[in-house]
């Protein structure tokens, strides 16, 4: 395969002119008279054309013919393989050797009488169509060359012998084969400089400009071919690093981004190292292999870009984290920096937007201008079973999110509903339903999701149980809260261990403080009516401490920072005075 780094440097060279001789026109101290700038450029064009024809001769008359003779003599490799590798190089060589180079030479010899080159270049332009076939075949030719060099010793011996010759200049056949791909952009650079140096009233100006326009179109095609080869090389690199997954190297795939991330586990507290490959049509979630023999990564999940969603997560414990939600799986990931997280989100969203745009175009073509509104009406907010849910992490709850009974290691263990992602107990998740995102295979689900997905109505023993004052879901309260966050619970009132509690002052119940064991718990373990309480901030021992006091009741809290302490004190003072919010964002003190 062609080196991707080489292809990238090739494009840079073509755009910068770094391939040209160090002695630029008009700077040779050996010349006694100052030649016109435009003539010096034509001289440079002639010299580079001579070198190019010599390279074409080496490809066609030496490499090509020698390999053909060996194929006929030894039958060690097919003649057709040789012809496919060299494509139409013979036609390109004959055109430049028998027509274009002699024409350039004659024009320069007769420069005094005919100081023009635009008409000669215009004659060249139609024949540049020959390069289209060569460029299109180049990637396949490089693959055949690499393959038969490994498979056939006689094939390799012929190439090695010619490459070691003086005519080859210690360069490989692969490098020589790139010359025709590079040549058209070189014509463009020289001709562009030639037009710039021509006087405004020069007789060749109109022809030269027309020739430049024709060469420009051909050069664009060559640069596009180099870009395409670079894209295919990217795919081939990924193909090898993933252990030759056949359908990854599809010509329609484009690698958009790759890089390491951390996977936030719903069971473990420490994130795990993972690696992502984002293509235009799928996201590959991979595990780096410890022993990298052959493949470097193992693909764990493929998520289709079609239907995928991505958004930033606001998690104080895991900064720079983001959520990727697809039909096959939902992942909570952490980037190494804020910039990297934003870059991943933007790359994923761009791929999603491109897929959606293409689908909308297709629908418009099929459905006509009126569209299909019926399908849009069927797109309900519930996507239960259609896509993998975001799993609630184990440590975010201390009780079943359905029946609100506390978990313990022996009698009530944690399970996850595969439809909604809630953490539930065994009793509440003792049901199975087919989930579309998992190929309609039966999965463990909670009774709420089972009823929704199957339509079967279940009798619940606790359905008629009245909701207690503490049974206010932490998630709902946190999302619609005046203030929420972790506080250290200090003193004997909370127990000797001084646990950390998730504290919420809900917007719909602004005069009460609810204290939960974990942010996702469905029931608070303590509620404090704040009306009439006295709030005091700071102590000599620790300025982050503040207290609630009334009629012998004393609650002591400790915030993580003084700034958070001040916000909590302000929120509690408002509640203690009987203040209530008037609007949806009135008095919001949350982050």
Residue 410 belongs to what domain range? 394-454
The stretch 482-488 carries a mean pLDDT of 88
Residue with tokens 């460029």: 135
Is the pLDDT assigned to residue 175 strictly greater than 70?
Answer: yes
Who wins on pLDDT, 247 or 335?
335
Q: Name the pLDDT band for 77 (thresholds 50, 70, 90).
A: very high
pLDDT for the residue numbered 507: 85
Q: What is the pLDDT of residues 414-429, one digit of tens each?
A: 889 988 888 998 888 8
Greatest mean pLDDT range, 170-179, 244-253, 365-374, 521-530? 170-179
Note whether 98 and 188 are same-domain residues. yes
User: Has residue 479 got a pLDDT over 70?
Assistant: no
DSSP 399: B
Which pLDDT belongs to residue 438? 86
Mean pLDDT calculated for residue range 430-438:
88
Comparison of pLDDT for 190 and 538, the residue scoring more:
190
Q: What is the pLDDT at residue 412?
A: 78
Please check whether residue 118 lies inside any domain of the structure. yes
* pLDDT digit string, tens, across residues 269-291: 788 999 999 999 899 999 998 77
DSSP string, 249-305: S-TT--EEEEEEEEEPPSS-SS-EEEEEEEESSEEEEEEE-SS-SS-SEEEEEEEES
382 domain-assigned: no
In this predicted structure, what is the pLDDT of residue 376? 34
Domain closes at, from 405, 424, 454: 454
446 and 498 fall within a common domain: no
* Residue 290 sits in the same domain as residue 352: yes
pLDDT of residue 29: 42
Q: DSSP readout, 433-457?
A: EEEGGGTTEEEEE-HHHHHHHH-PP
Residue 183, both tokens: 């040549």
What is the model's pLDDT at position 222? 66
| Span 79-136, pLDDT tens digits | 999 999 999 999 999 999 999 999 999 999 999 898 999 999 988 887 887 887 888 8
Residue 64 sits at φ, ψ, to 5 deg, of -60, -50
Q: What is the mean pLDDT of residues 350-375?
A: 60
Per cent of the chain over pLDDT 70 is 80
Query: Which has the higher per-residue pLDDT, 248 or 451?
Result: 451
Q: Among 85-89, 127-131, 185-189, 351-355, which stretch is predicted with the lowest mean pLDDT? A: 127-131
Distance CA 523, CA 173 (A): 73
Give dist(CA 521, CA 440) in Å, integer: 30
The answer on 298 and 203 residing in a single domain is: no
Confidence of residue 45 (pLDDT cuts 50, 70, 90): very high
Last residue of a domain, one of 404, 423, 454: 454
Mean pLDDT check: name the lowest of 14-28, 56-70, 156-170, 329-343. 14-28
The residue among 213, 241, 269 that closes a domain is 241
- Are 104 and 234 in the same domain? yes
How much is the pLDDT for 248?
Answer: 61
> Which neighbouring-strand residues pair with 548?
535, 555
**206 and 327 housed in the same domain:** no
CA 55/CA 96 separation, integer angstroms: 11
Taking residues 345-354, what's their average pLDDT? Answer: 93
With 0-12 / 13-18 / 19 or more C-beta atoms within 10 angstroms meaning exposed / middle / buried, residue 482 is buried
Average pLDDT over residues 167-187: 89
pLDDT band for position 63 (cuts 50, 70, 90): very high
What is the spatial distance between Cα 503 and Cα 491, in angstroms, rounded to a whole number?
Answer: 16
Residue 221: Cβ-neighbour burial (10 angstroms; 0-12, 13-18, 19+): middle
Q: Domain check: are 548 and 568 in the same one?
A: yes
Question: According to the per-residue pLDDT averaged within each range, which of 247-256, 382-391, 426-435, 469-478 is highest?
Answer: 426-435
- pLDDT the model gives residue 20: 45
pLDDT above 80 for 541: no
Is 444 among the domain residues? yes
Return the top range by mean pLDDT from 27-31, 252-256, 284-288, 522-526.
284-288
Q: Which of 70-79, 487-496, 523-532 has the lowest mean pLDDT?
A: 487-496
- If asked whether residues 363 and 343 sit together in one domain, one would say yes
Q: What is the pLDDT of residue 377?
A: 32
Q: Specify the higher pLDDT residue, 11 or 161.
A: 161
| pLDDT band at residue 54 using 50, 70 and 90 as cut-offs | very high
The pLDDT of residue 379 is 34
278 vs 258: CA distance, rounded Å: 6
Cα dihedral 208, 211, 217, 218 in deg (nearest 10): -120
The pLDDT score that the predictor gives to residue 406 is 81
Q: Are 184 and 222 in contact (CB under 8 A)?
A: yes
pLDDT above 60: residue 334 = yes
* pLDDT value for 374: 39
**pLDDT at 342 > cutoff 70:** yes
Which CATH number belongs to the domain containing residue 347 in this structure? 2.30.29.30
With respect to residue 381, please indicate whether it lies within any of the assigned structural domains: no
485: nearest Cα among 365, 591, 330, 392:
591
Which CATH number fits the domain that encloses residue 115? 1.20.900.10
For the cut 60, the answer to whether the pLDDT of residue 13 exceeds it is: no
- Indicate whether 23 pLDDT > 60: no
b/e sequence 442-458, b meaning 16+ C-beta within 10 Å = ebbbbbbbbbbbeeeee
Residues 75 and 163 both lie in one domain: yes
> Has residue 460 been placed in a domain?
no
Q: Is the confidence at residue 555, as pLDDT, over 50? A: yes
As a whole-number percent, the residues of the chain with pLDDT over 90 amount to 32
The pLDDT assigned to 369 comes to 41
Mean pLDDT of 571-584: 83
Q: How far is CA 353 from the centre of its chain?
A: 13
Report the pLDDT value the prediction gives residue 256, as an integer from 0 to 100: 92
Same-domain check for residues 83 and 144: yes
pLDDT value, residue 90? 94
Band the pLDDT of 330: cuts 50, 70, 90. Answer: confident
Co-location of 234 and 252 in the same domain: no
Tell me, yes or no, whether 449 and 481 share the same domain. no
d(CA 82, CA 93): 17
Question: Given this model, what pLDDT does residue 475 score?
Answer: 61
Predicted local confidence at residue 366, as pLDDT: 40
Structurally, how many domains does the chain consist of?
A: 4
Residue 439 is part of a domain; what is its CATH number?
3.30.40.10
Mean pLDDT of the chain: 81
Two tokens, residue 400: 């079943």
Q: In this structure, is residue 154 part of a structural domain?
A: yes
> For residue 586, is it within any domain?
no
pLDDT at position 151 over 70: yes
Query: Is 532 inside a domain boundary?
Result: yes
């Amino acid at each position: 395969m062609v080196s991707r780094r080489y292809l990238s440097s090739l494009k840079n060279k073509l755009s910068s002119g770094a391939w040209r001789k160090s002695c630029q026109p008009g700077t040779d101290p050996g010349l006694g008279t100052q030649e016109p700038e435009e003539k010096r450029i034509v001289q440079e064009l002639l010299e580079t054309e001579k070198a190019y024809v010599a390279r074409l001769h080496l490809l066609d008359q030496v490499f090509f013919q020698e390999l053909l003779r060996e194929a006929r003599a030894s039958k060690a490799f097919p003649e057709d393989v040789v012809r496919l590798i060299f494509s139409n190089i013979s036609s390109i060589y004959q055109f430049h050797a028998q027509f274009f180079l002699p024409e350039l030479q004659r024009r320069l010899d007769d420069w005094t009488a005919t100081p023009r080159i635009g008409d000669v270049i215009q004659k060249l332009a139609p024949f540049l169509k020959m390069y289209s076939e060569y460029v299109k075949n180049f990637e396949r030719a490089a693959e055949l060359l690499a393959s038969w060099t490994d498979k056939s010793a006689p094939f390799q011996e012929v190439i090695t012998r010619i490459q070691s010759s003086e005519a080859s200049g210690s360069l490989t056949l692969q490098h020589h084969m790139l010359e025709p791909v590079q040549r058209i952009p070189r014509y463009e650079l020289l001709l562009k400089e030639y037009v710039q140096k021509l006087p405004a009233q020069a007789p060749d100006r109109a022809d030269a400009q027309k020739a430049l326009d024709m060469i420009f179109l051909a050069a664009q095609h060559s640069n596009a071919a180099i870009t395409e080869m670079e894209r295919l090389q990217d795919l081939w690199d990924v193909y090898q690093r993933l252990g030759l997954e056949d359908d990854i190297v599809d010509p329609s795939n484009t690698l958009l981004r790759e890089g390491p991330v951390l996977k936030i586990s719903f069971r473990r507290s420490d994130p795990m190292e993972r690696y992502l490959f984002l293509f235009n049509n799928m996201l590959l979630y991979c595990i780096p292999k410890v022993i990298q023999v052959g493949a470097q990564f193992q693909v764990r999940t493929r998520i289709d870009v079609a239907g995928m969603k991505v958004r930033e997560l606001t998690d104080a414990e895991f900064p720079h984290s983001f959520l990727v939600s697809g039909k096959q799986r939902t992942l909570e990931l952490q980037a190494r920096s804020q910039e990297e997280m934003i870059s991943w989100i933007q790359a994923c969203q761009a791929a999603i937007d491109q897929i959606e745009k293409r689908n909308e175009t297709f629908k418009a073509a099929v459905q006509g201008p009126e569209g299909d509104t019926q399908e849009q009406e069927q797109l309900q907010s519930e996507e239960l079973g259609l896509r993998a849910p975001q799993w609630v992490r184990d440590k975010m709850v201390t009780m079943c999110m359905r029946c609100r009974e506390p978990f313990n290691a022996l009698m009530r263990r944690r399970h996850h509903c595969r439809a909604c992602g809630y953490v539930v107990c065994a009793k509440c998740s003792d049901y199975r339903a087919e989930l579309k995102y998992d190929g309609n295979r039966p999965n463990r689900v909670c009774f709420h999701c089972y009823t929704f997905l199957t339509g079967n109505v279940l009798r619940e023993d606790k359905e008629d149980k009245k909701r207690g004052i503490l049974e206010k879901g932490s998630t709902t309260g946190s999302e619609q809260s005046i203030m929420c966050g972790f506080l250290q619970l200090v003193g004997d009132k909370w127990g000797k261990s001084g646990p950390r509690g998730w504290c919420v002052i809900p917007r719909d119940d602004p005069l009460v403080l609810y204290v939960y064991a974990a942010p996702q718990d469905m029931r608070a373990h303590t509620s404090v009516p704040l009306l009439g309480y006295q709030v005091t901030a700071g102590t000599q021992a620790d300025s982050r401490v503040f207290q609630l006091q009334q009629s012998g009741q004393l609650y002591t809290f400790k915030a993580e920072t003084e700034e958070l302490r001040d916000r909590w004190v302000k929120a509690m003072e408002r509640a203690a005075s009987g203040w209530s919010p008037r609007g949806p964002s009135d008095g919001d003190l949350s982050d």
